Structure 1
Amino acid sequence: MLPALALAVLGYQLNATMLSPALPDVMHRLHTTSGLVGLAQTLFFLFAAIGQVTLARLSDYRGRKPMMMLGCFLVIAGDIACAAAPDIGVFLAGRVLQGFSAALFTLAFLTLDDTLSAKGFGRAAGIITAVNGGFAGVDAVFGGRLADTVGFRGIFLAGLVVSVAGTIAVYRTVPATPPTATGRMDWRGTSLLALGLTGVLIGLAQGESWGWLSVPTAVCVLGGIGCLVLFALAGRGTRDAVIDTGLLVSRRAWPLLATTVLTLAGAFGALTLTVPLFTQDPQAGYGMSATHSALLFATPAQAIGVVGAPIAGILGPRIGWRRSVVIGSAGSLIAFAVAVPFMTHQWIFAAALAVLGITYNGLSVTALNGLAVLSSPAEQKGALPGLNGACFGIGASLGTALASALITVAASGGAHGADRYAPALWASGGLLAAAMVTTVVIRAVPKGAAEADGGRVTVPALHG
């Protein structure tokens, strides 16, 4: 079962990691603009957030395996659409389908929780997290190689092979577990949540190009926040709410969701935007090539994460998932506290960022996902993991937008050298410090929650 789940998750993940170096080739072959290619990426991560919430919660009513099969078919359809796309419109549709299938990650966690003991869940969750991080940076390099030789379509054909294999493996080996909830899906709440996430994420993604104080940005962000407020209000007293309001305001949920957003905003924004720009800047940074920068500042953390995530999965049940989150947050904060003051010292900077492979890619990401699954009430198992998965996308968008804005402001203000990028890195460190605060507020999974029924974790109903 575990290799099957890993293949299914990898089929989705390759669409997230392999395409980045091929974006210029997409522009050239589809005769489109950088704005529309950027929109394709925005839609991919936006629908990843929506898919996480929708399919995860729907699996409570329909079962994990049917929703996982649906996710696999969406990946395949998206791969075919993108590989054969005659224009940017079809390409955008394919990216939407691929993004929606991000729920495969959360569904894999839920399936593991349904079928394995608490100890087995921890080990397997670490492996799935490691796979979800890609091939230690090699996949991005491979994607660039495919783009240089056969073009971007080769990336989706390669992903299609993996996705088909994953679909067959899931169908043949993953057990069909019974639904965990009765009733019916709350489509009103789902729609409000989807509209809210759409507004906030598009506003954050496009704010730099539209202008942060422009009318379109304000409409998206404020409209999205308004829909999220309506979503919370609509959930009161609703028996089959997408996620119970009482759970949202409890210490099992809101500190966890806040920690996920803040952790991703701090680490993701720095690693995927600030660090690459700084290390490749010939005037203000090291003036490295893209390949050299990736090999020295991205690949080590990703490679260490492949080992760190399974270790975190083993430690989680032993020392507690909440404690794992605390250790991961503290370690990432210390790494940034060393990296930022020494950002002009290449090897110290690289070594400090490599530590994030253990603390961020390993402990934090694994433990946040594991804790979301284990903190959900039995009758709403898909609710909190799905919403937590969406918070990964929100945090990533927020961190990237904030870093981009701070770099632009520093450059326009005449900052020279490393000072052009230091404010963005300090802001990332500040977000991780805020995550450290919310981390300690998270309510731990109750002791003795692992029942005799297979050793699975059963969290009692809410008590305020």
Structure 2
Amino acid sequence: MPRSNANTKRGPSPSAITAVLALSGTVVALMQTLVVPLLPDFPRILGVTADDASWLVTATLLASAVATPIVSRSADMYGKRKMMVVCLAIMVTGSVIAAVGGSFLWLVIGRTLQGFASALIPVGISIMRDELPKEKMGSAVALMSATLGIGSALGLPMAGVLYESLGWASIFWVSAAAGTLLLLAVVLVVPESKVRTPGRFDFAGALVLSAALAALLLSISKGGTWGWGSEPVLLLFLTAAILLAVWVPYELKVSQPMVDLRTSGRRPVLMTNVASLLIGFAMFANMLLTTQQLQLPTATGYGFGLNVITAGLCMVPSGLAMVIFAPVSGRIIRVFGGKSALIAGASVMIVGYVSRVFFYDSIAWVIIGSTVVSVGTAIAYAAMPTLIMGVVPITETASANGLNSLVRSIGTSTSSAAVAAVLTSVSMTVGAVHLPSFEAFKDVFWLAALAAAASVLAAVFIPRAAAAHRPPTPAVAATELVVQGRVLAPDHRPLTPAVVTVLQTDGEPVDWSRVDAEGNYSVALPGAGRYLMVANAGGWAPMAEVFDFDGLTLQQNFLLRDRLELSGSVSAGGEPVASAMVTLIQASGEHVATTRTDDDGGYAFPLPVAGRYVVTMLHPVTHGAVAKKLAIDNRSITLDFAAPPVEEKSTEPVGA
């Protein structure tokens, strides 16, 4: 259905929506980097140790890890713009608390609340999928990813200037002002998406996941300071492992999980997330090493002795390059697909890191190497949400992108810990000071290049079909509505596992949904029209029907009537045999089920999973036995038995 001119005029322009959402990436990057230049001075300012001061970064990291999956899932359920407003309001509150608190404790609380800004990225990308035309989707996502780079590049020098000119509290006042302006822009420009998945929020799953992530990231971020073999770090790792071991089976069983692990475990999503973790690792090493190399004294032989502000300004070309290459990233995705873009971006990162090993004796070479890595990062980061949204249900885009963002943040945290470990273990003495040697930098460059190479390998295993993004057409974005329903058996009990797929009548895919433990599904349809809906449940014949959607009826149930089964009859001398025992055994020997024939000699089993089986029959009187092999796929099978004469009592072999 074409979008009307009236709707086009009334609604905000795609460019305005893109600009506002992309700015959220800048805000996220600012929250992560603003305090970095001040960390050496905070112990003196606040009267704490250097280890205590590091909590100003750790608190934000932990909060972002906990908030991202929770906020993303809430966005799918309660509204994406609404959750962006909530995140920005919390971030602004945290900025104000940090600015006026005046003590270390209040500063940590403020920085914790600022961590909620990280959830803006996956939620904003999901809004782009809902609201932007297809032809602008790739470049918009690429631009949003690029603003992470420009925000990081600007945050370092800006923090230094503000600190030296207006004092340390000014960086938090600027954060509060930026957050307030962005909040107003979101309210005024960004429409609220109609694509929602109502249901019950998985509070237990959210609580266990939050505790597991907090333990995992705290152990990673503090391992270098506390000691990787220390009792607190080992206890945190053990706690994370136990909580995840509890969380995974719970999420597989709960009706409406916090994270749909079955969808996340599909190869396109799984391999994209693996590649994302590795890209996050490789990307963060670039930011950590570049400014440090520029600031190290010239006496090291590879440092340049720049101050914080100048070193930060040297990162601006990297950020600008990410913005410049955003449209290039979008075009690569549009023409070649997300898989090719991810491989291309990771390959560029490899080239950048290898060049940094051999070309390091001038500021220009350092900036060029850093910029090349940033260009590769921009291309790879743009591809990730494209790949994710191309294969997950429309009603789960925010939570799926949230999980992808979380995986990337785990990669960056691991990178930070690895860089710190390498730089402290391979050192040199300059005067009376121990500093990392350039061999340590080379080791990290090679490590980052290997991580990028591993991400290429992971991307190779992403199915080619997943490379083509499936965003809505302009008409879809204007009128998308969520239709819900249930998949039921003839006795109206819910059927699970089951999947509902929606197609246009010309065969084009629209959406799909995995049925929860109560038989519920949700799919997003692009307005009124005629659709082909297919329901498929394990052990049942699939059902397809045409759905004439009037735009008002938002409920469509499926009643599957034909159960797939293994059935047959037992006879002797042409007469049915009642009460004969029939047993189903896996070819490997495990017992599956046993039943007895009815008065007409018939028996039936629910169709087991595909595989090779042996079916045996035992006559109730003569004890004549027969065994047959068969291979079961996803079709009903009829297997009849003829009992042997009394004197034979033999086994009748039948080929598979």
Same fold (TM over 0.5): yes
Inter-partner Cα distance in structure 2 for 1:447 and 1:3: 25
Question: How far does residue 358 in structure 1 lie from its aligned partner after superposition?
Answer: 1.6
The aligned amino acid for 2:262 is G
Question: How far does residue 165 in structure 1 lie from its aligned partner after superposition?
Answer: 1.2
SS of match in other structure, 1:268: helix
Question: How far does residue 55 in structure 1 lie from its aligned partner after superposition?
Answer: 0.5
SS of match in other structure, 1:184: coil
Inter-partner Cα distance in structure 2 for 1:447 and 1:416: 45
Q: Is the 8 A contact 1:278 1:286 kept in 2?
A: yes
Alignment of 1:307-456 (within 5 A): 307-344=324-361, 347-360=364-377, 362-411=378-427, 417-443=437-463, 444-445=465-466, 447=468, 449-452=470-473, 454=475
Question: How far does residue 133 in structure 1 lie from its aligned partner after superposition?
Answer: 2.7
Inter-partner Cα distance in structure 2 for 1:409 and 1:25: 25
Structure-2 change in CA distance of 1:375 and 1:83 (3 Å): farther
Alignment of 1:148-297 (within 5 A): 148-269=164-285, 271-279=286-294, 280-281=296-297, 282-291=299-308, 292-296=310-314
2:83 alignment partner in structure 1: 67
Question: How far does residue 39 in structure 1 lie from its aligned partner after superposition?
Answer: 1.0
2:648 alignment partner in structure 1: none
SS of match in other structure, 1:264: helix
Question: How far does residue 378 in structure 1 lie from its aligned partner after superposition?
Answer: 2.4
SS of match in other structure, 2:184: helix
2:108 alignment partner in structure 1: 92
Question: How far does residue 330 in structure 1 lie from its aligned partner after superposition?
Answer: 1.3
Inter-partner Cα distance in structure 1 for 2:25 and 2:292: 29
Q: Is the 8 A contact 2:252 2:260 kept in 1?
A: yes
Higher mean C-alpha displacement, 251-260 vs 405-414: 405-414
Question: How far does residue 428 in structure 1 lie from its aligned partner after superposition?
Answer: 1.7
Higher mean C-alpha displacement, 209-218 vs 364-373: 364-373
Identity across the alignment (%): 20
Q: Is the 8 A contact 2:20 2:189 kept in 1?
A: yes
Inter-partner Cα distance in structure 2 for 1:452 and 1:435: 31
Q: Is 2:61 the counterpart of 1:40? A: no
SS of match in other structure, 1:84: helix
Q: Is the 8 A contact 1:8 1:167 kept in 2?
A: no
Structure-2 change in CA distance of 1:101 and 1:135 (3 Å): closer
Question: How far does residue 138 in structure 1 lie from its aligned partner after superposition?
Answer: 3.1
Q: Is the 8 A contact 1:445 1:459 kept in 2?
A: no
Question: How far does residue 134 in structure 1 lie from its aligned partner after superposition?
Answer: 3.4
Higher mean C-alpha displacement, 422-431 vs 287-296: 287-296
1:128 alignment partner in structure 2: 144
Structure-2 change in CA distance of 1:248 and 1:27 (3 Å): same
Whichever structure has more helix as a proportion of its residues is 1
Query: Which is greater in Rg?
Result: 2
Q: Is the 8 A contact 2:122 2:402 kept in 1?
A: yes
The aligned amino acid for 1:445 is A
Q: Is the 8 A contact 1:74 1:100 kept in 2?
A: yes
Inter-partner Cα distance in structure 2 for 1:254 and 1:107: 20
Question: How far does residue 132 in structure 1 lie from its aligned partner after superposition?
Answer: 2.9
Q: Is the 8 A contact 2:149 2:319 kept in 1?
A: yes
1:116 alignment partner in structure 2: 132
Query: Once the two structures are superposed, what CA deviation does each residue of 1:122-166 show, in whole Å capped at 9, x if it has no partner?
Result: 222222223333347233212101101211211111121121111
Structure 2: segments with no counterpart, 5+ residues: 1-16, 478-508, 515-535, 539-656
Q: Is the 8 A contact 2:76 2:398 kept in 1?
A: yes
The aligned amino acid for 1:311 is V
Inter-partner Cα distance in structure 1 for 2:94 and 2:435: 43
Whichever structure has more strand as a proportion of its residues is 2
Inter-partner Cα distance in structure 2 for 1:448 and 1:152: 45
Q: Is the 8 A contact 2:29 2:155 kept in 1?
A: no
SS of match in other structure, 2:200: coil
TM-score (norm 1): 0.91
2:92 alignment partner in structure 1: 76
Structure-2 change in CA distance of 1:276 and 1:175 (3 Å): closer
Inter-partner Cα distance in structure 2 for 1:453 and 1:416: 54
Structure-2 change in CA distance of 1:348 and 1:197 (3 Å): same
Q: Is the 8 A contact 2:387 2:468 kept in 1?
A: no
Structure scoring higher RCO (CA < 8 A, sep ≥ 6) equals: 1
Inter-partner Cα distance in structure 2 for 1:416 and 1:171: 48
Question: How far does residue 365 in structure 1 lie from its aligned partner after superposition?
Answer: 1.5
Question: How far does residue 230 in structure 1 lie from its aligned partner after superposition?
Answer: 2.3
Inter-partner Cα distance in structure 1 for 2:426 and 2:152: 32
Q: CA RMSD in A?
A: 2.6
Query: Once the two structures are superposed, what CA deviation does each residue of 1:202-229 show, in whole Å capped at 9, x if it has no partner?
Result: 1111001111111111111232133223
Q: Is the 8 A contact 1:75 1:101 kept in 2?
A: yes
TM-score (norm 2): 0.66
Query: Once the two structures are superposed, what CA deviation does each residue of 1:86-118 show, in whole Å capped at 9, x if it has no partner?
Result: 211111111111102311111111111111222
Question: How far does residue 21 in structure 1 lie from its aligned partner after superposition?
Answer: 1.4
SS of match in other structure, 1:53: helix
Question: How far does residue 42 in structure 1 lie from its aligned partner after superposition?
Answer: 0.8
Structure-2 change in CA distance of 1:25 and 1:381 (3 Å): same
2:45 alignment partner in structure 1: 29
Structure-2 change in CA distance of 1:446 and 1:328 (3 Å): closer
Structure-2 change in CA distance of 1:417 and 1:103 (3 Å): closer
The aligned amino acid for 2:375 is I
The aligned amino acid for 1:213 is G
Q: Count matched residues.
A: 461
